[in-house]
Structure 1
Amino acid sequence: MENVAAGLRRQLLENHPLQHRRLVLHQPRAQRLKIRTLQRSFATTAEPLSAYIRRRRLEEATRLLLATPSTTISEAAARWHFTDSSHFVRTFRKQYDCTPSDYIHRRRSPGE
């Protein structure tokens, strides 16, 4: 039963990456998932829980920047709970080997 609950919570985490604290802390006692249980559910994957959450937040921030041209990098960073835009840019560069601005420019201007 615990594996089923962990799988369901993992699916919820995939769909709502900012809700990881809620999954652990703010559920009724019978439904509450211990952080260690959630971490163990990631133990069989190549990506630890913290890296997974960071990657998903980065993907969602990137999606927001691409879908809404008026959104600034600072706004996307704040929306997806990065400490500040510098932290977001460093994390982005580590994941994508370029800055968010360069990535967005390339995605919006294919063939250049």
Structure 2
Amino acid sequence: MSHSITQTKVMFSGKIAFIAALLIASAFVGQAKADELTPIEQAAVNHHLEILATQQSESESSLIESQLHDFDAELSTAEEQFMDKTCDDNGLQYDSDAEVCYE
């Protein structure tokens, strides 16, 4: 059984490519034009943008507060571990309640 591969030649000129590019570009440009908003519609859009800005601000504040709380907790733990090791290296005991080293 023999398989033959046929090859067809398509003549593609630069003029056809240019015309196709113009047609595609004009289709996109025609869709990009939008109608102007009425004053009522613009007021509604502005109101929604204000709501979004408020929500984003509240979300950012909440996230920052959460990160600061986590950072403070990690810092406190790291300080306590550092002091415990420092006191131990000097032959002392660390009291975490009083935050002092003693013999």
Higher RCO (Cα < 8 Å, 6 or more apart) = 1
Bin for the TM-score computed over the shorter chain: under 0.3
The structure with the largest alpha-carbon Rg is: 2
Structure with the larger strand share = 2
If the length of structure 1 is used for normalisation, what is the TM-score?
A: 0.25
